[in-house]
Amino acid sequence: MLARGSIARHYLAIAICAAIYLIVGLEVSNSYYQLIMTLVMIWAAMGLSWNMLSGYSGTISFGHAAFFGLGGYTMTIAFVQFGLTPWLGIPLGIGVGILAGVVIGLPTFRLRGHYFALSMLAYPLAMLNLFEWLGYQEVSLPMKREAAMWYAQFDDPRAYMALALILTVVCLVISLRVEYSRFGRSLLAIKQNEAAAEAAGIDAMRAKMQAMMISAAMAAAAGGLYAVVLLVVTPQTMFGMLVSAQALIVCLFGGVGVVWGPVIGAAVLVPLAELLNAELGNVLPGIQGVVYGVAIILIILVAPEGVYWALRDGFSRRRFRADPKPAAAEPAAETSIVSRDAAAAATAASPIVAAPTLQTMDATSAMTSCSRRLPSEPLLSLEGVSRAFGGLKAVDDVSLGVAEGRIHGIIGPNGAGKTTLFNIINGFLGADAGRITFAGHDLTGLKPHDVCRRGIGRTFQIVRSFARMSVLDNVKVAAQGGAADDAAARSLALEALAEVGLAEALIDAVPRNLTTKQLRLMELARALAPRPRLLLLDETLAGLGHDELEEVLDVIRKVNARGVTIVIIEHTMQAMVKLAHYFSVLDHGRLIASGHPAEVLSNATVIEAYLGRKWVERAQYPLP
């Protein structure tokens, strides 16, 4: 997220809020209000649980009642049948909840978006039926007159309030620690762009699984305490849809992806609904649900980010207006960048006639020098790689080798299978047949983050940024795989940003405010941050103006010059002939030609037959 302040400030805020809540709670004498204060804390914990998985990683769950219910029922059944105290029953419930999180997560995380959300819905509903069938329609906790404390039964309802407060504080602290950790940053990256996160070396499955386990533990604890407070469990109150919905609603209302969100949401909505229910419940049954429903609808329409973010944005805007200095400084910074760009453009523009020939000579000399120092063993080699989608052979029996230190261009018209080939190499797609080896290791079957860790970085045809992170954080997420700690990740990221020439002034900008060229460079820096040996660049030059193109080409050459091997996809020849040392031409999934640029282009008949005359003409290359 945007600058979040230091973690210590949050701890202080938690301590102050908890103290105030405790004092108010102890002063309140009405036992009904005390109950409401207890429930606020329980639902805040439940909201934090939902936030842990869905808020941070973006995988929306409609089934958190499964963990809540398991926590509550485990504690209750252990108490009723085996006389186990809730002090041990709740931890047992947490264990069962975590186990359920693993069992549910393993298959369900394979699904995405709608499918994940829908199948999460099925779990608690199935459990609801199951517990009804098992005969647990209504289970009451037996009253223990003796050793009541040992059974967590208190005469004073304020004790429950204090317990619930402790639970919420623990959940808050855990959430904060996650939010400020490398793990939390990985989750945020997954939320914003899972494919890019995986390509940047994050094991998305593992991170989501860990989030699920923490989340399930919190929900189970909340469920256990809820049962202790209410002294009775029914399948509807524990596994019902309203439980899952409430977890989600307090979080959405208060603010997603921030620890304070669920707390704000619970503090506003729970008392509101409870009081309405108490005042009007007899006359208007269901008013509670209507209030929740209306709250969700309004929040989605008015402030889809939640109260916390809406307030924050409001405050920062006002502060901006009150203090004109930063407001004035920013445009100034922008113009200076623009003028620098303009200056660069001007210098580049003057020798425009001479440039192409120079470039061509450069490329030729680079090529010859390169071919002289080529090692015999290719760094990356593909043998007979194929992949079909239904009847369409997207990649058909492609074999090629990429020599270390080279810039290897893959060209071909739209739909030739270039991007699919990249997706196979970096593990987004499995190959139906064939073998891929990189530096002597078999890559076949590896997941994207593993491929990344072995030293292959990639960029995407359409830039995949982490939209809500700063440019620096975008790159840092990728750097953390190869860094020991946060500081090391930061310096790796800064190094990569410097290498691609992204101005220091831009590192705190969000991707939304960048130009196409800057986005491409940011993505390049992200791919470079883990210090790969090989870079896969997917149409990095697309959509760039002439001068911008030269600038990016220079960056790519510079990266290559320090020994990074590059495979680049393009479907326009113009830029490629200036850059690549070696060409492979794909058409309809097949490799139709490969060799040095001159060789490939002299093979004009082949190219023309497959790609058309115009394409060759556009190449503007002096054919021998």
Partner 1 sequence: MTDLQWQLIDFFQALAAGLMVGGTYGLMCLGLGIIFGVMRVVNFAQGDFMMLGMYIAYYLVTGFGVLAFLGPYVGPIVAATLAGPIVFVIGWLLHRYLISQVTGVRVISAEAEGHYAQIILTLGVALVLQNGGLLLFGSRPVSVQTPLSRESWEIGLVFLNQARTVAFVFAVGFALALYVFLSRSPLGKAIRAAADNPVAAAYVGVDVDRSYRIAFGLGVGITAVAGGLIASSQSFQPYIGFDFVIVMYAGVVLGGMGSILGSFWGGLTIGLVQQMSTLVLPYQLQNTAIFVVFLLIIFLRPHGMFGRVFERT
Query: Which of positions 369-408 make contact with partner 1 (CB under 8 A)?
Result: 389
User: What kind and span of H or E run contains 567?
Assistant: strand 565-570
Which amino acid, 58?
G
Q: Could you give the string, one character per residue 69-108, with x where binding to partner 1 holds by CB under 8 A and - elsewhere?
A: --------------------------------------x-
Choose which of 23, 24, 122, 349 interacts with partner 1 (CB under 8 A): 122
Does position 110 bind partner 1 by CB under 8 A?
yes
Nearer to partner 1, 94 or 398 (CB): 398
Cα(70)–Cα(131) distance, integer angstroms: 10
Nearer to partner 1, 159 or 241 (CB): 241
Choose which of 64, 406, 464, 571 interacts with partner 1 (CB under 8 A): 464
Q: Cβ distance 262 to 222 under 8 Å?
A: no
How many C-alpha atoms does 535 have within 13 Å on its Cβ side?
31
Cα(314)–Cα(312) distance, integer angstroms: 5
How many C-alpha atoms does 499 have within 13 Å on its Cβ side?
23
Residue-by-residue DSSP string for 321-380: HH-HHHHHHHHHHHHHHHHHHHHHHHHHHTTTTTHHHHHHHHHHHHHHHHHHT--SS-SE
390 φ, ψ (degrees, to nearest 5): 60, -120
Choose which of 83, 113, 314, 612 interacts with partner 1 (CB under 8 A): 113
Choose which of 260, 292, 309, 438 interacts with partner 1 (CB under 8 A): 292
Choose which of 91, 289, 501, 543 interacts with partner 1 (CB under 8 A): 289
Q: Hey, what are 101's tokens? A: 């999180």
Does position 428 bind partner 1 by CB under 8 A?
yes
Query: Which of positions 183-202 make contact with partner 1 (CB under 8 A)?
Result: 193, 195
- Per residue, the 3-state secondary structure of 122-186, as one string, reads HHHHHHHHHHHHCCCCCEECCCCCCCCHHHCCCCCCHHHHHHHHHHHHHHHHHHHHHHCCHHHHH
Supply the minimum distance, in Å, between the C-beta of residue 240 and partner 1. 9
Does position 609 bind partner 1 by CB under 8 A?
no
Does position 443 bind partner 1 by CB under 8 A?
no
Cβ within 8 Å of residue 188, ≥6 positions away? 1, 56, 257, 466, 468, 469, 477
Query: Which of positions 240-259 make contact with partner 1 (CB under 8 A)?
Result: 241-242, 245, 248, 252
Taking alpha carbons only, the member of 27, 31, 274, 40 closest to residue 154 is: 31
Nearer to partner 1, 302 or 353 (CB): 302
Query: Which of positions 483-522 make contact with partner 1 (CB under 8 A)?
Result: none
Does position 419 bind partner 1 by CB under 8 A?
yes
Tokens 């304020």 belong to residue: 158
Nearer to partner 1, 25 or 306 (CB): 306
- Segment interacting with partner 1 (CB under 8 A) among 72-80, 284-292, 323-331, 580-588: 284-292
Q: Could you give the string, one character per residue 528-557, with x where binding to partner 1 holds by CB under 8 A and - elsewhere?
A: ----------x-------------------
**What is the distance in angstroms between the CA of the first residue and the CA of the last residue of the chain?**
55
Q: Cβ distance 76 to 233 under 8 Å?
A: yes
Does position 430 bind partner 1 by CB under 8 A?
no
Supply the minimum distance, in Å, between the C-beta of residue 538 and partner 1. 7
Supply the minimum distance, in Å, between the C-beta of residue 595 and partner 1. 28
Burial per residue of 465-500, b for 16 or more beta-carbon CB atoms within 10 angstroms, e otherwise: bbebbbbbbbbbbbbbbbbeeeeebbebbbebbebb
Does position 295 bind partner 1 by CB under 8 A?
yes
Supply the minimum distance, in Å, between the C-beta of residue 494 and partner 1. 27
Does position 272 bind partner 1 by CB under 8 A?
no
Does position 1 bind partner 1 by CB under 8 A?
no
Cα(312)–Cα(309) distance, integer angstroms: 5
- Segment interacting with partner 1 (CB under 8 A) among 57-65, 82-90, 558-566, 595-603: 57-65
Taking alpha carbons only, the member of 558, 567, 570, 557 closest to residue 534 is: 567
Does position 130 bind partner 1 by CB under 8 A?
yes
Nearer to partner 1, 423 or 480 (CB): 423
Nearer to partner 1, 117 or 337 (CB): 117
- Segment interacting with partner 1 (CB under 8 A) among 4-12, 454-462, 469-477, 504-512: 454-462
Does position 293 bind partner 1 by CB under 8 A?
yes
Count of residues of this chain found to bind partner 1 when the rule CB under 8 A is applied: 57
- Segment interacting with partner 1 (CB under 8 A) among 23-31, 85-93, 122-130, 333-341: 122-130
Taking alpha carbons only, the member of 207, 224, 229 closest to residue 72 is: 224
Supply the minimum distance, in Å, between the C-beta of residue 130 and partner 1. 6
Residues in the chain: 624
Cα(537)–Cα(555) distance, integer angstroms: 13
Which amino acid, 532?
P
**Which residues here bind partner 1, judged by CB under 8 A?**
58, 60, 62, 107, 110-115, 117-119, 121-123, 125-126, 129-130, 132-133, 193, 195, 241-242, 245, 248, 252, 284-290, 292-297, 300-301, 304, 389, 419-420, 422-423, 428-429, 460-462, 464, 538
